[in-house]
Amino acid sequence: MRPPLEAAFPRPGVMGVVNVTPDSFSDGGLFLSPDVAVGHARRLLAEGADLVDVGGESTRPGSEGVSLAEELRRVEPVLEGLAGLPVSIDTSKAEVARRALALGAVMVNDVTALRGDPQLAGVVADAGAYLCLMHMLGEPRTMQHDPRYEDVVSEVKAFLEERLAAAVAAGIAEENICLDPGIGFGKNVDHNLELLARLDELVALGRPVLVGASRKRFLGRILGEPEALDGPASAGVAVAVLAYERGAWLFRAHDVREHVEALQAAKALAEVEA
């Protein structure tokens, strides 16, 4: 039995991003060689990441999926090189998750929130693994084509509540699960900002909330670049700190040292106010 997610990753926790892909939006192609990816992951852990999120499939807007064989070819050697270290596997495929958990991964980060592969819930349940359930409207190939909501926060909240119940019904312990609004996944700039500003409404679901705003394009667009494909680390750190103030628990970040330092400062300040 693992401790509850809150105990394993105290707030604020930082999840470092390790994209083993040729096409991720901010770092595609940088860490394709297993040795380089493993070295990068170890650096992120040394910088203070609580765990590293290893992914072999880009989910950037417009991306196509990859085959099981290709995804395994990308991530398996990296997972082998990280044995014994805290690893999350960023996948929607049950077979990738199964192999990753066998190689020691502790968390499955599924951007489809168990809607992609009907076998995935059972794999997570059998392993007693941690799980991140993320909201996405549509699919990566088309999700940024004019996404619409009546009220983005209440719709994302209802979705996460329903997926949490489905995961628990499939045998996954509720205390192993965290929830994620899915910043940039079928959301325009205003949707992202509203979700972040009203994050306390998602926190009210009672599970730790993970926020992944790091380097995302809405940050570049806020800064006045309407065609930006990514955003600067500084803007992502600001968003992480303000999300922390609104109750966020975990932060998925490329620039780990900057996030860890800023969140430690935010935590020190929060403790004075308490």
Query: Which residue among the candidates 99, 207, 216, 217 is catalytic per the annotation?
Result: 216
Q: How far apart are CA 250 and CA 17, in angstroms?
A: 13
Helix (H, G, I), strand (E, B) or coil at 116: coil
| Residue 210 lies near ligand HH2 (rule: CB under 6 A) | yes
Nearest to 192 by CA among 143, 153, 233, 231: 153
Nearer to ligand HH2 (CB atom), residue 103 or residue 182: 182
- Binding to ligand HH2 in span 134-163, by CB under 6 A: 134
Whether 135 contacts 182, CB under 8 Å: yes
Segment contacting ligand HH2 by CB under 6 A, of 57-65, 74-82, 187-195, 238-246: 57-65
Q: Which is nearer to ligand HH2, 238 or 270 (by Cβ)?
A: 238
Residues with Cβ within 8 Å of 94's Cβ and at least 6 positions away in sequence, in order, are 117, 118, 119, 120, 122, 123
Query: Measured from the CB of residue 186, what is the shortest distance to ligand HH2 in angstroms?
Result: 12
**216 belongs to the catalytic site:** yes
Quick check: 21 binds ligand HH2 (CB under 6 A)? yes
Q: Does 252 help bind ligand HH2 (rule: CB under 6 A)?
A: yes
Q: Which helix (H) or strand (E) holds 108?
A: strand 107-110
d(CA 2, CA 147): 38
The residues that touch ligand HH2, with contacts defined as CB under 6 A, are 17, 19, 21, 24-26, 55, 58-60, 90, 109, 111, 132, 134, 180, 182-183, 210, 212, 252
Active-site residue numbers? 216, 252
